[in-house]
């Protein structure tokens, strides 16, 4: 793992989105641990939440996630850009998602 980039990514990141499998809008928390472990927590409006463990690595500006949450292959690679408390992840198809750092 590239140390400087990895250090800036460690922490909890939050975003919101729609998940058709879960029936609508969800809040997503992505916790990146310094050990390379990660946990994705998906919270539904009714209060239910789902947790998904996995791992993460970063080389240059490519962030690789591995875990059951990352469908359809159980892994995904995205370009990442950190600016203060904002993380922008950009997929190979050009779509992007903005995450906010929170405790």
Give the residue-averaged pLDDT of 57-61.
Answer: 93
Residues near 35 by Cβ (< 8 Å), separated by ≥ 6? none
pTM comes to: 0.85
Angle at alpha carbon of residue 81, lines to 87 and 79, rounded to 5°: 110
pLDDT digits (tens, 9 = 90+) for 69-103: 888 889 999 999 999 999 999 999 999 999 999 87
Please state, in angstroms and rounded to a whole number, the distance separating the CA atoms of residues 31 and 52.
Answer: 10
Question: Are 27 and 14 spatial neighbours (Cβ–Cβ below 8 Å)?
Answer: yes
Whether 65 has a pLDDT exceeding 50, the answer reads yes
C-alpha 97/C-alpha 89 separation (Å) is 5
Q: Please report, in angstroms and rounded to a whole number, the separation of the first and last CA atoms in the chain.
A: 23
């Amino acid at each position: 793992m590239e140390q400087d980039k990895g250090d800036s990514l460690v922490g909890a990141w939050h975003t919101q989105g729609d998940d058709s499998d879960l029936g609508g809008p969800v809040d997503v928390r992505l916790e990146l641990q310094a050990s390379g472990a990660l946990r994705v927590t998906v919270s539904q409006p009714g209060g239910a939440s789902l947790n998904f463990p996995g791992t993460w690595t970063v080389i240059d500006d490519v962030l690789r996630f591995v875990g059951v949450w990352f469908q359809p292959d159980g892994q995904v690679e995205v370009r990442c850009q950190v600016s203060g408390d904002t993380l922008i992840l950009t997929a190979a198809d050009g779509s992007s998602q903005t995450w906010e750092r929170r405790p």
